[in-house]
Chain A
Amino acid sequence: MDPMEEIRETFFIECEELLETLEAGLIAMSDGTSDGETVNAVFRAVHSIKGGAGAFALDALVEFAHKFENVLDLVRSDKLDADQSVMDVPLRSGDVLSDLVSTAQAGEDGLTDDSRELLKELIALSTGGAPAPSPEPTPDVAAAQDDEDEATFEPLPIGGGASDDDEPTYVAEPIAMDFLEPEAPGKRSFALEIKPHAELFAHGSELTLLLRALAELGEIKTRALLDGIPTIDDLSLEQHFFTIEANLETEQDQPAIEDIFDFVDTECDLKISIVQPVTEAVDSPETEELASKEALSPTPAEDEKQEPAAPEAKEKKPSSEPDRSTKAANTQQASASRATVRVDVNRVDRLVNLVGELVVTQAGLSESVEKSSEDAEVTAANAMEEFKQLTRELQECVMSLRTQPLKPLFQRMQRISREASAAAEKSVRLQVNGDSTEVDRTVIERLSDPLTHMIRNAIDHGIEPSDKRVEQGKSEVGTVSLNAAHRSGRVVIEVSDDGGGINRAKVRSKAVEKGLITEDANLSNGEIDQLLFAPGFSTASAVTNLSGRGVGMDVVKKSIQALGGRISISSDPGRGTSFSISLPLTLAVLDGMIVQVDQHTVVIPLTAIVETHKPATDQIVAIGGKEAVLSIRGNLVPVVDVGEHFGYRERVDQITDHVTLLIESEDGGRAALIVDDIVDQRQVVIKGLDDNYGDVIGIAAATILGDGSTALILDTDELVEGTKTAALSLGQVA
């Protein structure tokens, strides 16, 4: 891979991290929970983005980041009070900066209308509330025309140097310094007087090197004036005492010589005079004093060495070549961003340790197998046990490499919330908890859309307008909470609001209107709430800007289910609504109970199993025909015969001859599964079936067992759900 391309990728990955820091910091600042370090971190984040963007000649990004940085600098130095009204601009600027980074990543560079507007506001803020200068410079020239310190952002890709190559390359630079001056033909002779100050060494410079550099320009003769050397008592190794007189014959001109001294300007007095041109000009021997300088200006600007200008003028100029920089940016093809995983070093260390132990155990195992004493059998059994343990740990560790904290996702939701509340003209605060919870990265990626929709929904439909809230004695500012936590082997994410709750009467009439239920259907509150997930259902009486994008909660539910997750809803009229998403920690492995049904082996997720039974006759309650429910400690539980459900065999006659597993779904529903026998309990690797078979109700996936045979993994929630639907239709018929 092209090294420049690789660095570019690094840059965008880093931008992602910096934008996270930025977002978190800005929110802390606007909440008033920030300290000095937060402001510094925020400043640094923008600063680093600017720095990197400059290197890739992303002018629009540089320009925006620069203005943004100016405002943050004012806040940092307490010249601007970061109150709520002021913070609005940085918050939105953070969003725009993030957009510009994405634009740049896609290979484009330019300000959007949004960013141009915001740029004005930033300028207004940084110039003390004065109106933005107008007319605004066009984006193309804006970077170059801007205020004085834009001068530093000369888009010079490394390696590309001052050459005209479009493609930055990494060719080793020749060792000689690049002092060739084509328009200075012929040798001239310079007289130099170099008088280093005592502190020359202390600043890391060395006279020898300066002389060596001079020697590279031409022929040099030096003479040390030892007058300044003190007596031996006052002599110090770290100080410089004598003056050097040198005669340099070179084809270079004076600025090239001065250039060598540009870092030692304040530590060294330098006099340069032309003695005579060595060639052709033999008849003008007068010494011409060109310049005598006590101090050069402290700049490393070598690009201006052709102009023997006064040192004060040696300041870098703004780049006057926007064309070249744009070209350079364009040649940087937008690379399809490869999926990368950022991994905590500790995890990698642990992985390395585990593999090490595995090797040792394996060695022990081989050894004991080779011997064939009884003793060795015991050793082998022990080693095998250890082997098993290690393999399991190793697997967990490798799996954890795929997990990432929810933080970046949740931070994106802050922006969604800001934009949604602005569009709905509501005052809403998004409260985030548990964003350090780690989830498989695939899950995180695919959670973004459903979460976005749910947050928008909460703000659009959940939170009431301010006046209505005040009327009800609620705080004027609505709160939407986003919580995440690990709960019994799964990740639970909750989106809740303190709004008006679900208007069940309205939902019900809507459902009747849409033909989803009959008018006389007898539904519990929970069942009414579930209607929100029904395809084609929408409570908004008018399609609003926000959530009315043709995506309903049914789509949200589908995407969550596609992740092996469940979504449930609860609502308290007048107090708010809460959606709870429960997701598997990983999409790759599962702790399962291996059971036998007829000739088939089936896996049931362990997390769903509450208990196992050998049912007694008095526990079985017949409800007509072959239908029966199981009474477990007084609670009636519907029965699902797994063998019958999947068509393996007819329904069993005697439940008591079989084993039942009490399972519980995410939303608390229960069912008893009838199986023939329990075989084992182990971790299985999930193999998706969707590509081959499509969705089969009651089956989540498949797995390959230790003996090479395949087994289906049951979707217990769907099985429980199935019993409810049956009950519901029974209820409706009745």
Chain B
Amino acid sequence: MTDLKPTILAIDDSRTMRSMLNAALTSAGFNVILGEDGIDGLEQLDQTEPDAVITDINMPRLDGFGVIEGVRNHERHATTPVLVLTTESADDLKLRAKLAGATGWIVKPFDQTKLVGALRKLIA
């Protein structure tokens, strides 16, 4: 069976946020894989084929910047889009994420329409 739904890897250390992302993305027709922190997220990345990655910045073990770097240095997923999703809105943090190779930015609390819109822009 082929599954034509795009797959999103969503990484956030907050269970609430993971549930929200899962609900919002699933209802918008995405497959969702969840990662509990940076390390877990990169492990998931290695085992799956996500079409895009959404990551929180502030996480234990490995933060969002680490995730971006991990994606960019991954042999299969180096060009996978990475959306940063966080409450941080400070410009220097955005710039840092951008420099690390983030594709885009969404500020929490997110709006489902915006999030889905942003994702549609990034994946086929």
Number of residue pairs across A and B with beta carbons under 8 Å? 160
Q: Judge whether B87 is part of the interface by a CB distance below 8 angstroms.
A: yes
Q: Judge whether A390 is part of the interface by a CB distance below 8 angstroms.
A: no
Complex Cα distance, B117 from A260, in Å, reads: 10
Complex Cα distance, B26 from A159, in Å, reads: 12
Complex Cα distance, B88 from A208, in Å, reads: 30
Q: Chain A nearest CB: distance from B70 CB in Å?
A: 13
Q: Are A204 and B81 in contact, with the CB atoms below 8 A?
A: yes
Q: Are A158 and B79 in contact, with the CB atoms below 8 A?
A: no
- Taking CB atoms, residues of chain A closer than 8 Å to B105 are 263, 298-300
Q: Given A155-B109, A298-B94, A300-B107, A52–B122 Cβ distance below 8 Å?
A: no
Q: Are B90 and A55 in contact, with the CB atoms below 8 A?
A: no
Q: Are A266 and B16 in contact, with the CB atoms below 8 A?
A: no
Q: Given A51-B108, A54-B108, A300-B107, A209–B72 Cβ distance below 8 Å?
A: no
Q: Are B89 and A158 in contact, with the CB atoms below 8 A?
A: no
- Among B15, B29, B124, residue most surrounded by chain A Cβ atoms (within 10 Å): B15
Q: Are B24 and A14 in contact, with the CB atoms below 8 A?
A: no
- Taking CB atoms, residues of chain A closer than 8 Å to B23 are 3-4, 7, 158-159, 170
Chain B 13-48 interface mask (CB, 8 Å, partner A; 1/0): 111110110011001110000000000000000000
Complex Cα distance, B98 from A683, in Å, reads: 63
- Taking CB atoms, residues of chain B closer than 8 Å to A153 are 87, 109
Q: Are B24 and A159 in contact, with the CB atoms below 8 A?
A: yes
Within 8 A of B (CB), among A166-206: 170-173, 175, 177-178, 201-206
Q: Chain B nearest CB: distance from A245 CB in Å?
A: 21
- Taking CB atoms, residues of chain A closer than 8 Å to B52 are 204
Q: Judge whether A618 is part of the interface by a CB distance below 8 angstroms.
A: no
Size band of the interface chain A makes with B: 35 or more
Q: Are B98 and A266 in contact, with the CB atoms below 8 A?
A: yes
Q: Are B112 and A204 in contact, with the CB atoms below 8 A?
A: no
- Taking CB atoms, residues of chain B closer than 8 Å to A178 are 113, 117
Complex Cα distance, B101 from A238, in Å, reads: 14
Chain A 206-222 interface mask (CB, 8 Å, partner B; 1/0): 10111011000000000
- Among A43, A152, A238, A262, residue most surrounded by chain B Cβ atoms (within 10 Å): A152
Chain B contact residues: helix, strand, loop or mixed: mixed
Q: Are A7 and B60 in contact, with the CB atoms below 8 A?
A: no
Complex Cα distance, B111 from A560, in Å, reads: 50
Contact among B14, B71, B113 with A51 in the assembled complex (CB-CB below 8 Å): B14
- Taking CB atoms, residues of chain B closer than 8 Å to A299 are 94, 105
Within 8 A of B (CB), among A134-159: 149, 151-159
Q: Given A44-B58, A202-B72, A298–B95 Cβ distance below 8 Å?
A: yes
Q: Judge whether B116 is part of the interface by a CB distance below 8 angstroms.
A: yes
Q: Given A201-B79, A204-B79, A54–B87 Cβ distance below 8 Å?
A: yes
Complex Cα distance, B117 from A406, in Å, reads: 46
Q: Judge whether A419 is part of the interface by a CB distance below 8 angstroms.
A: no
- Taking CB atoms, residues of chain A closer than 8 Å to B112 are 158-159, 161, 173
- Taking CB atoms, residues of chain A closer than 8 Å to B14 are 14, 48, 51-52
Complex Cα distance, B24 from A156, in Å, reads: 13
Contact among B24, B58, B60, B120 with A158 in the assembled complex (CB-CB below 8 Å): B24
Closest to B118 in A: A300
Q: Are B107 and A51 in contact, with the CB atoms below 8 A?
A: no
Closest to A43 in B: B58
- Taking CB atoms, residues of chain A closer than 8 Å to B123 are 209
Q: Are A7 and B16 in contact, with the CB atoms below 8 A?
A: yes
- Taking CB atoms, residues of chain B closer than 8 Å to A263 are 103-105, 118, 121-122
Q: Given A48-B13, A203-B103, A300-B105, A10–B19 Cβ distance below 8 Å?
A: yes
Q: Are B79 and A202 in contact, with the CB atoms below 8 A?
A: yes
Closest to A163 in B: B113
Chain B 48-79 interface mask (CB, 8 Å, partner A; 1/0): 00001000001110000000000110000011
Q: Chain A nearest CB: distance from B76 CB in Å?
A: 13
Contact among B29, B89, B121 with A149 in the assembled complex (CB-CB below 8 Å): B89
Known contacts A177-B117, A300-B118, A316-B107; 6 additional CB pairs below 8 A are: A43-B58, A44-B60, A47-B87, A170-B23, A204-B122, A299-B94
6 contacts between A and B (CB under 8 A): A7-B20, A43-B58, A51-B17, A177-B117, A208-B124, A316-B107
The 10 closest A-B pairs by CB, nearest first: A204-B81, A263-B104, A152-B89, A55-B109, A204-B103, A11-B16, A52-B16, A170-B27, A54-B109, A158-B112
**Which A residues have a C-beta under 8 Å from some C-beta of B?**
3-4, 6-7, 10-11, 13-14, 40-41, 43-44, 47-48, 50-52, 54-55, 57, 149, 151-159, 161-162, 170-173, 175, 177-178, 201-206, 208-210, 212-213, 238, 260, 262-263, 266, 298-300, 302-303, 316
**Which B residues have a C-beta under 8 Å from some C-beta of A?**
13-17, 19-20, 23-24, 27-29, 52, 58-60, 71-72, 78-82, 87-91, 94-95, 98, 101-118, 120-124
